[in-house]
Amino acid sequence: MEHFIEQATWKDGYRLLVRFDNGVTKTINLESEIGFFDLEYFNTFVIDQQKGSLIWAGGERYTADKLYESGIRCRMDFDEPTIEWYLSCFDDHLDGAEVLFASCCVRESDHHLEPIFILMSQHGRLYKVDDEIIDGCDPACGAGWEQIRRETSKEELLQAIEHEGLGIIEGKDQFAERLHQFLISKDFTHETVE
């Protein structure tokens, strides 16, 4: 399928936020390919409207199709690149999904484990994803998406925070407090994004 770029903006470092003609927005990280560019030069890209690609003054060009394939689909502007990377591993399962809250951290007792928590709505239902990334391994090579994603409710999450904890987070830390504040501030009947 041929794609065209509608909009491209610099995000940070060598990452771009690119919106394609089918409405999908992806984060594109080009550091491994053109990270030797000076950042000032990197930010001089323009969209070639005729060919729907990104070009730089020195002649470097990335087609929309190449960027679409390498990009991470995103539905909010995550502060944590780990969240973007994690979701990209399950991109095929995210149609109709909207990420409402997401966070990750390194576990103090074991630096090889990185707990991750995602709250999302999909097709009118609320789901949570709580998983652990082990030494940066691709999460898609382990359990399938249907085993990782579990249906939940606002009430169930609030009760877990208050009584049982979240399972992935050690103790009642800032993450649990942020999630608690998010949950009590939102009306999920209108599925809004923070």
Phi, psi of 19 (to 5 degrees): -105, 130
The residue written with tokens 């649990």 in the block is 176
> Above 90 in pLDDT, residue 8?
yes
Q: What span, in angstroms and rounded, lies between the C-alpha atoms of 58 and 39?
A: 14
pLDDT at 190 over 50: no
pLDDT tens per residue across span 35-85: 567 888 888 899 998 878 899 988 888 888 888 877 655 544 555 667 777
SS3 49: coil
CA distance 45 to 53: 10
Q: Where in the chain is the domain with CATH 3.30.2020?
A: 5-70
Confidence grade of residue 172 (pLDDT, cut at 50, 70, 90)? very low
Which letter does DSSP use for residue 164 in this model?
A: I
Q: How confident is the model at residue 192 (pLDDT cuts 50, 70, 90)?
A: very low
Domain 5-70 architecture? 2-Layer Sandwich (3.30)
Q: Residue 188 and residue 119: Cα distance in Å, rounded?
A: 11
End-to-end CA distance of the chain: 32
pTM of full prediction above 0.75 = no
